[in-house]
Amino acid sequence: MIQFDLKNRVAIITGGAQGFGFSITERFIQSGATVIIWDLDEDAAKEAKEKLKSDNLSYQILDVTNSDQIDQNLKVIENKFNKIDIFINNAGIAGLNTTVAKYPLDEWKKVINLNLNSVFYCCKAIVPIMEKNNYGRIVNISSIAGKEGNPNASAYSSSKAGVIALTKSLGKELAQKNIAVNCVTPAAAKTRIFDQMTEEHINYMLSKIPRNKFAKVNELASLVTWLSSEENSFSTAAVFDLSGGRATY
């Protein structure tokens, strides 16, 4: 396994206690980073800390759709470390699998709020800290659904498309600074998010992947770790595919 150097770097990973987020957390710890997991599930966060057994890992329980909670927790971390180098926007939900005509308004708002609005809130709050320290790496976890749109997943697809646009906009705003903003668009992986999907939708996603298999969480973690490292000093406002050949642009 190739090691990227994240020593002396302070990183926050939203939804970092399970799935893609846990794999990124594990890889960051192995690469020498100090990691703070942001999660709503305290049991999952405790379990992640117990599994990784690292003094460089801690967690804060908060709702990333609440901008006040984001600001409060960032202040605690900044006061402790005097900086925050890396921010990974990973938290998200799949939402219901149903047609646009039948999609409940409350469910639409819930998915957009967590998958897109929270990314905006976190980016808005973290950028001034990174600008102050003249260093930053932001990686937003989008989805191939954000590029191609999946039927019966309009809220999820729309939210992830928004993450791509937000990444491009923010990355260009910060292009003259030592802050890189990129996103990754993975195909589906067998994580707990599958519990939110119908079997029919899971089979549809698999049928669209030329490699005929789902992504592995460690493959995403490897890409995200490079994007979060000092070695990535050029790529910004970019979209990195991890779709098993599904991506067409």
Strand partners, 180: 137
Is the sign of the CA dihedral 44, 41, 5, 244 positive or negative?
Answer: positive
Q: How far is CA 160 from the centre of its chain?
A: 11
How many whole angstroms separate alpha carbon 204 and alpha carbon 40? 30
Does residue 156 carry a catalytic annotation?
yes
- Which residue in the list 59, 103, 121, 156 is annotated as catalytic? 156
Residues across the chain: 249
Write out the catalytic residue numbers: 156
